[in-house]
Amino acid sequence: MKRFAIVFAVAAALAWGQSPAANSGPMLGFVPGTLPWQLQPVLGIPGAAHLGNPVSLPNSVTKIYLAPGHAYAVAAQGSSAPAALVILRIAGVLQTNPSLTPLPGAFANPDAIAFSPTGESLALFSQAASSIQVYTGLPNSPRISQQISNVGSALKLAVSDDAQAVLISDGVGNAYALAQNSAPVAVYHTVEIAAIAFLPQSHKAILCDPVAGTAAVGQAIDGITIIPPPASPCQPQAAAASADGKKILLACTAQQLIWSIDSTTGSIDTRGVNNSPAAFESLGLQDTFLMSPADANGTYWMITWQPDGPVISFIGARQ
């Protein structure tokens, strides 16, 4: 069996709204609010960012999944209404009255959702339907690209930007490549797969294996390259890639470390962080990621990839 590598950026359950006077100016994205249908905007720029006033979607929203860049989201509204698209920002500006637009033919209350690295594509998994719906053309012209049936379980889910490659893990250490009208192809087996995700505009993916304490990069079926661990141990729980796919960030949650990996040379730089990041969320500035959850004091942290290495900054309290 050929192994391969992937990671998932867990999408937090959020929602949004706006107070124009308090939430004006540059913004990076959102963090969770105190209620399932609330969130707080992250205003400013890295190094000078703070939280805006809490804002809300309709309280019918039970869960909201933020797309990379936090310009739009997909909202669930219980067991009957289909998953809906929510435009949050246009040209970087918050929308004061966001509306819910049902995705055509979408499952209601999907059990798992995954966005492609750029947010161009989306995959929804329904346990009740034993199926995965893959959408493309997001956010402006969403349409179903393929529907994959007879999917037993998809605890983790990933989709490529072109909507052609889909990867899942089944919750018992197996990862599979899926395609419409094709049998699943086993690509990895271990004790636990923490996360799955593709690199931007690529069928290459990253796999986080916290039990083995390693990760790998490669094509879903054509084999992988294992990333050898440096002196500092890591049990990776999440990963993200720069827009050009040349740099990979791994979140070593238990160790409070970030691995910064050159995907060409395999060289690794290790940085300590103040929180225990379990997920990366791509924000509205290129190569800038929110590290979730917040630290013990309730402070959120961001990491920005720059040519001379990653820069870590915090998000200040609401002003």
The Cα–Cα gap between 196 and 188 comes to: 11
Share of the chain above pLDDT 70, in %: 86
The Cα–Cα gap between 153 and 155 comes to: 6
Which tokens go with 261? 């990996």
Q: Please give the average per-residue pLDDT across 94-117, as a whole number.
A: 89
The Cα–Cα gap between 299 and 293 comes to: 9
The Cα–Cα gap between 121 and 67 comes to: 10
- 72-77, strands of its sheet edge to edge: 63-66, 72-77, 81-87, 100-102
For residue 167, the model assigns a pLDDT of 94
Return the closest-CA partner of residue 285 out of 148, 83, 89, 133.
89
Select, from the ranges 46-55, 70-79, 86-95, 117-126, the one with the highest average predicted confidence (pLDDT). 117-126
- Comparing 12 with 65, the larger pLDDT belongs to 65
Write the DSSP assignment of 14-36 as a string of letters. ------TTTS-S-EEEEEE-SST
The Cα–Cα gap between 249 and 268 comes to: 10
Are the CB atoms for 251 and 258 separated by under 8 Å? yes
For residue 265, the model assigns a pLDDT of 80
State the fold for domain 27-316. Methylamine Dehydrogenase; Chain H (2.130.10)
Is the model's pLDDT at 318 over the cut of 80? no
Q: How far apart are the first and last CA of the chain?
A: 54
Residue with tokens 């529907």: 147
Residue 154, C-beta contacts closer than 8 angstroms, at least 6 positions apart: 111, 112, 125, 132, 168, 169, 170
Is the model's pLDDT at 11 over the cut of 50? no
Return the closest-CA partner of residue 89 out of 41, 122, 126, 128.
41
Per-residue pLDDT tens over the stretch 211-266 = 888 776 655 545 556 666 666 788 899 999 999 998 999 999 999 999 888 877 87
102: amino acid identity, one letter: P
Per-residue pLDDT tens over the stretch 110-147 = 999 999 999 999 999 999 999 999 999 999 999 999 99
